[in-house]
Amino acid sequence: MNMLRLRAFVVALTFCVAVLAGRASLAADEAHTLKLRLEWLTSGYHAPIYLAQAKGWYKDAGLDVTTIAPGNGTNTTIQLVNAGNYDLGEAAISNVAIARTKGMPVKAIATWFRKGDLALMVPADAGINGPKDLKGKKIIYSAASSEGPFLEPFLAKGGLTRSDVQLLNIDPNARISTFANGQADGIFGSPVGTGVIINDLRHTHNILFADFGLNMPGFGLFATDDMLKKKADALRKFASVSAGAWTYAKSHPDEAVAALMKERGEQDRVNPDQIKKQLLESFQFLYSPASADQPVGVNTEKDWAEALATMVAAKAIDAGAVGKPAEYFTNECLDPAIIKKIGG
């Protein structure tokens, strides 16, 4: 009888151990499962992420990246990540900083474009080389886009004010056609996205805000403070693998483009030639003077101090809410060994 009880106890104990092990395994899986929200529709600068997924680099790092969702704007992506709908997002990091000063606990975990990509695109034969040449010109902009808060500081670099130019707040769906048809002298945007598409319709050249002392971080990864605690290891691996993928893509752009096209090409009806041009255009923004000797994605306090000062001057953020540069980013999610292993 005692033997029967002992056997029953052993069976029950084994069952409990199995259940607990299963729960632990489930918890571990959840801790390394990630959902990513991009800031915009599929573009060439998203290729490194699709490359890492296609190569199995995320999986090899113990991650299960279940979602890579195209977006419809940086600010929407920030709001959705802040609300917990996604574990992390890719967006314009300058907007992430602005959101943080307004109470959203979000911060950069990797900044791809450490030289700002915000630009004014103008016809190549227009003789416009800077803000001083814009007096009386018609310029397309979007009030709710990333350039909005920085228009006045940009114009001021040429001794102009808003009243010296004709700013056309055009619906996003009509921006490109309006400029391509010659109804405007310039259009604000990014050379790595809109710029590539526009250039195929009307030959242009780019006037970068960064070249006029208005350098702000461009696209990169971000997460909430809470998620950085909850899924610290997963975010560290994802950001590091992605940084390695960017490094690899610099030497193997065709592989990166092929990975994106296989995953999104047919669904999104994107042009592979434009996707490649967008990716190649992206490489010039990966490094700032302060980060030239740092791996892709690493933030520097110097860049952030300058960016925050620029945003304060542009009145995009309140001087009293700025705080220290280190409050806006963390480099703890970037492992140089992982980046080097993948990127070479």
* Res. 11: pLDDT tops 60: no
- 262 and 169 inside one domain: no
State the pLDDT at residue 72. 82
Using one digit for the tens of pLDDT, what is the confidence trace for 220-233?
999 999 999 999 99
Share of the chain above pLDDT 70, in %: 91
Domain holding 165, by residue range, is 119-212
Looking at the 3D structure of the chain, how many domains does it have?
Answer: 3
pLDDT value at residue 170:
83
| Residue that terminates a domain, selected from 212, 227, 260 | 212
108 and 63 within one domain: yes
12 and 36 together in one domain: no
What pLDDT does residue 5 have? 55
Please tell me the predicted confidence (pLDDT) of residue 22.
46
**If pLDDT is split at 50, 70 and 90, which confidence band does 141 have?**
confident
For residues 318 and 301, membership in a common domain is answered with: yes
User: Do 164 and 282 fall within a single domain?
Assistant: no
Residue 52, domain CATH: 3.40.190.10
159, pLDDT greater than 80 = yes
pLDDT at 144 over 90: no
Same domain, 17 and 42: no
Highest mean pLDDT among 137-146, 255-264, 266-275: 255-264
The overall average pLDDT reported for the chain is 90
Q: Please identify, among 196, 212, 228, the residue that sits at the C-terminal boundary of a domain.
A: 212
Query: Are 253 and 293 within one domain?
Result: yes
Reduce the secondary structure of the chain to three states and give it as a string: CHHHHHHHHHHHHHHHHHHHHHHHHHHHHHHCEEEEECCCCCCHHHHHHHHHHHHCHHHHCCCEEEEEECCCCHHHHHHHHHCCCCCEEEEEHHHHHHHHHCCCCEEEEEECCCCCCCEEEEECCCCCCCHHHCCCCEEEECCCCCCHHHHHHHHHCCCCCHHHCEEEECCHHHHHHHHHCCCCCEEEECCCCHHHHHHCCCCEEEEEHHHHCCCCCCEEEEEEHHHHHHCHHHHHHHHHHHHHHHHHHHHCHHHHHHHHHHHHHHHHCCCHHHHHHHHHHHHHHCCCHHHCCCCCECCCHHHHHHHHHHHHHCCCCCHHHCCCHHHHECCCCCCHHHHHHHHC
Pair (232, 327) in one structural domain = yes
Give yes or no: residues 245 and 107 share one domain: yes
Amino acid at 300: T
The 10s digit of each residue's pLDDT in 36-49 is: 999 988 999 999 99
**Of the candidate ranges 168-177, 189-198, 209-218, 220-229, the one whose mean pLDDT is the lowest:** 168-177
Q: Mean pLDDT throughout 303-323?
A: 90
Q: Indicate whether 138 and 62 sit together in one domain.
A: no
Domain end: 212, 242, 263, which one?
A: 212
Is a pLDDT exceeding 90 seen at residue 300?
yes
- Judgement on whether residues 173 and 225 belong to the same structural domain of the protein: no
| pLDDT for the residue 148 | 75
What's the pTM?
0.84
- Are 125 and 46 members of one domain? no
Distance CA 7, CA 13 (A): 10
For residues 153-171, average pLDDT: 93
